[in-house]
Structure 1
Amino acid sequence: MENILKLEKSKKVSITKIKIKEHHKAFLILIPFITLIIMFLLSPFLSTFISSFLNEYNEFSLENYEYIFKSRFIKQSIFNSLELSIVSTLLGLLISLQGAYSLNKLKNSSKKSVLLLINMLSNFSGIPLAFAFIILLGSNGVMTILLKNIGLIETFDVYSRAGLMLMYTYFQLPLGLLLLYPLFDRIDPQWQEMVNILGGGTFTFWKRVGIPVMLKEILGTMLIMFANAMGAYACTLALTNGAYNVMTIRITSYIAGEVSYEPGIASAMSIVLGGILLFVVVINEILLKKKRGKYER
């Protein structure tokens, strides 16, 4: 018996040693990844966070944050960014949901072609996208002249809020389609048949079954699209030449030295921008927990 117990103990010791070695190997493999995270995520964030509390004399204070929340111009940039992001996210989500549903109904050959096109369009952003909008919808753009001749529009200013909203919604679509398309594979056609047998229609099916099943992924997609819009810079600058007041352009103006060099204010605005995104993440998690609790009951 003693020999058997000793053998079992030695086996357990050897197994634990093997596990420890495996953990060490896994940690060694992760060292380059952890180094990159520290260099390109944590270090810039800490530097920005500390800089946001430094005034022009390099003294710790809340002057930068006080300036942000007292300045009407900066508050306008926050409001404009939120408006563009929220509206373009909601519009982009609705169009992407319909597009993903329709895409899921195509044949495999057609589906692959459309997905390839969407992948290409997802990389078409920034300055090239703004240039394309100017060519198509500018004052003498191809589409603008065509729509005027048909009589559908009288005037359209692509360099205004309406033009930006259109462009933001456009570049949300490929992202939304790629993220939402796989969700419809989770919907079993038999579920809709069961709902129809019980007397429910298509609307009842999506309200009671389809949307709740995909809700977590839909909210996650909304969050990604919102962050995508809040961080947009190149296309906004190229289309409006910095005339439209949004957070990303204001942050750049304070660190590029075009008007004044105020890195503390730029850092504080960056932290506020990050805080807005964090707030959206928290709200997203709260909504998900409430929905989970509702369906568990």
Structure 2
Amino acid sequence: MKRASKQWIGLLPLFLIAALFLFIPLIFMFISSFQLDVSGEFSFDNYIQAITNPYYYQAFGNSALIALVSSILGIIGALLFSYALIGLSDKVQEKLTLFSNLAANFAGIPLAFGFIIILGNSGLLKLLFPVLNRFDLYTWKGLVLTYVYFQIPLATLFIYPVMRKVKKEWQESAEMLGASTFYYLRKVVFPFLVPTISGTFAILFANGMGTYETAYALVSSNVGLITTRIASLVAGDVYAKPNVGSALSVLFVLSMVLVIFISQYSMKKFRKDLA
């Protein structure tokens, strides 16, 4: 008991940091979402504005669309990249996974600046290949391309270790029993990867929805996103409405919880159907 109590004491700094920067702000944000900006009275007006104002709910739709497309492309790219990694030597795999770790954390202003240099209006690739002038980096398509850059490495960090556990003996046994390669992938490999793919999708979707710096640096307010809308409401000089921003933040958190729940429920149902 004394040893266990000492271990809990070592976790106190973690609990303190979580309380100061996560739980306490969430509580104040939740309370603020039900208060009017002027009087501070209890009201649902902030949520009504967040749901009925097209300026806000369209931002939810844009963020969800970009997060969905970038997450799907990220998982597909990670599956292909992980499959290619397995066929390489251990040293090369180690170096490429290290690069994936670095690329997954390379986001924000530096990433946006790098894409502007390469694919901006006067970007390097557009100067070398004029056909790329049709592509506009400062639209939702440009955001998807930018997001995919860090979504693929992030998904690789989750999918690659699980894919390495797929044994060659499984395919040999399936072939001995007369199973085709497609049947083996559909009935053995894919069900084995489904839990990881489902959890990875939830992480990628949340990552895509919550990205702020990269989106703000590329499109600012040209493409309405929920993160930029919340930032303008909380820290704006002219149209600051922190209480409405708190309501949007609460709805944003609830949407993330809903996505995780749907992902886990779909995974369990899919595994039951396979069984």
TM-score normalized by the length of structure 1: 0.88
Q: Which residue of 2 aligns with 1:188?
A: 167
Q: Which residue of 1 aligns with 2:151?
A: 172
Amino acid of the residue matched to residue 247 of structure 1? Answer: I
1:45-194 equivalences under 5 Å are: 45-56=26-37, 57-148=39-130, 152-153=131-132, 155-194=134-173
Q: Percent identity?
A: 35
Equivalent residues of 2:125, 2:132 under 8 A apart? no
Q: 2:224 aligns with which of 245, 251, 255?
A: 245
Q: Which residue of 2 aligns with 1:263?
A: 242
CA distance in 1: counterparts of 2:127 and 2:153, whole angstroms: 27
Q: Secondary structure at the match of 1:61?
A: coil
Extract unaligned runs of 5+ from structure 1: 1-19
Q: Which residue of 2 aligns with 1:31?
A: 12
Q: 1:289 offset after TM fit, Å?
A: 2.4
Q: Secondary structure at the match of 1:168?
A: helix
Q: 1:49 offset after TM fit, Å?
A: 0.6
Q: Secondary structure at the match of 2:164?
A: helix
TM-score normalized by the length of structure 2: 0.95
Q: 1:21 offset after TM fit, Å?
A: 2.7
Q: Secondary structure at the match of 1:40?
A: helix
Equivalent residues of 2:216, 2:228 under 8 A apart? yes
Max radius of gyration: which structure? 1
Equivalent residues of 2:198, 2:264 under 8 A apart? no
1:215 aligns with 2:194: yes
CA distance in 2: counterparts of 1:60 and 1:96, whole angstroms: 47
Q: Which residue of 2 aligns with 1:272?
A: 251
Question: What's the CA shift string for 1:144-170, capped at 9, x where partnerless?
Answer: 22222xxx5452211112111111111
Question: What's the CA shift string for 1:19-71, capped at 9, x where partnerless?
Answer: x3333233322222222222121101101111111112101110000001110
CA distance in 2: counterparts of 1:90 and 1:84, whole angstroms: 10
CA distance in 2: counterparts of 1:266 and 1:23, whole angstroms: 42
Equivalent residues of 1:84, 1:165 under 8 A apart? yes
Q: Secondary structure at the match of 2:35?
A: coil
Q: Which residue of 2 aligns with 1:40?
A: 21
More deviation, 225-234/35-44: 35-44
Q: 1:292 offset after TM fit, Å?
A: 4.0
